[in-house]
A and B are shown apart, each in its own frame.
Chain A
Amino acid sequence: MSASRRLDALLAAGVGFVAGVPCSYLKTFFAGCAELPLSSFLPAVREDHAVAACAGAWLGGTRAAAAMQNSGLGYCLEVLTSLHLMYAVPLPMLVSDRGDPGDFEEHRILGQRTRRLLDLFEIPWAEARSGAEGDDANWLVAAAERGRRPAVLLVGKGADS
């Protein structure tokens, strides 16, 4: 058991490697990640490197998941399209759902378009539910594996656990 129920659920769903860049909406999740062995967690410097490292781990036979703020989707887009989508690499992603009313201004423009952005690239997504971490993780991993592509669990304020 780690500090994060969401992380525990991902590990139970077969994830063996996590890479990401923190978001305050994912504070608990990243606290759990910090307890993982060095070979299982890569605190990345930017989100594109995180998802690229996940693709490397997957090539090597390890199920890998990425975690980031939704602003990081912008940095990732080239890698998600010309690596994961093009090579059919599954990638479960935990993405914070910033940009809700009351959030800071810098999250508004991308936050209002996150779902449309994912839809545009045919990346399946769902909203995380507190207390349903196991079901959320199972859906996320299955959606990525079934579609052989990225899949996103949007973690809103209060769904970090």
Chain B
Amino acid sequence: MTRAEAVAVVLPLLADDDIVVAADGAISREAYRAHDRSRTFYMLGSMGQVASIALGLALTRMERVVALDGDGNLLMGLGGLALAGGRQPANFYHLVLDNGCYATTGGQPALSQDVDLAAVAAGAGYAWARRCFSAEHVTEAMTAWLAAPGPAFLDIEVDASNTDPAPRVPMTPEEMAARVRAALAT
């Protein structure tokens, strides 16, 4: 299963009022292409901050907040995982699309090949943390994750290959932020 396919599987499983923070780079572009929604925040930079942005939303909002993270991204900002695990917001749902490498920059290997991110999340205090390494069980794993008590963490192994790159999100950063804020103000 490619990362884009996993993104396309998870988005239809979410409730309409769920708030999504999509990681900078390919994950945001793939989330936009698969299923654009006004309650998705598309990150462009600030790698390593997916969980922290999502945590700021989760602590101040009642709705479920879903962080669509990458393995290299999460490793860059591992303190964000500690914050979410330590604070334990019950509406915080963290999904890692784990291709084991830095795909955007040429596929250089990432430490996620050696570090069990779900075990790190469990140690940090997430109420539920699992890994899924089998493509045929992805939908089942995502359904269990979304039904689990929060904060919940799911590490999904995806293929490193990417033969169908998604185009950039056709909005300015200011438009992206304003759209999410307006959607959450209604």
Contacts and interface: CB of A to CB of B under 8 A. Distances in A.
Contacts of A82: 44-46
A58 interface: yes
B54 interface: yes
Contacts of A56: 21, 52-58, 60
Given A59-B41, A88-B173, A39 B79 contact: no
A48 B77 contact: yes
Given A46-B79, A48-B77, A83-B46, A38 B56 contact: no
Contacts of A11: none
Contact of A53 (B53, B61, B177): B53
Contact of B56 (A42, A45, A86): A42
Contacts of A122: none
A62 B185 CA distance: 10
Interface centre among B43, B48, B49, B52 (most CB of A within 10 A): B52
A61 interface: yes
Interface stretch (B3-11, B80-88, B108-116, B134-142): B80-88
A83 B45 contact: yes
A87 B174 contact: yes
What interface size band does chain A fall in?
20 to 34
Interface in A14-65: 16-17, 19, 38-39, 42, 44-46, 48-50, 52-62, 64
Contacts, number: 110
Tell me what chain A mostly uses at the interface: helix, strand, loop, or mixed: helix
B52 A53 contact: yes
A55 B58 CA distance: 12
B1 interface: no
20 contacts: A38-B87, A39-B60, A42-B56, A42-B87, A44-B52, A44-B83, A46-B79, A50-B52, A52-B52, A52-B56, A53-B52, A55-B56, A57-B57, A60-B56, A60-B61, A61-B185, A64-B56, A79-B46, A82-B44, A82-B45
Interface of A: 16-17, 19, 38-39, 42, 44-46, 48-50, 52-62, 64, 78-79, 81-83, 86-89
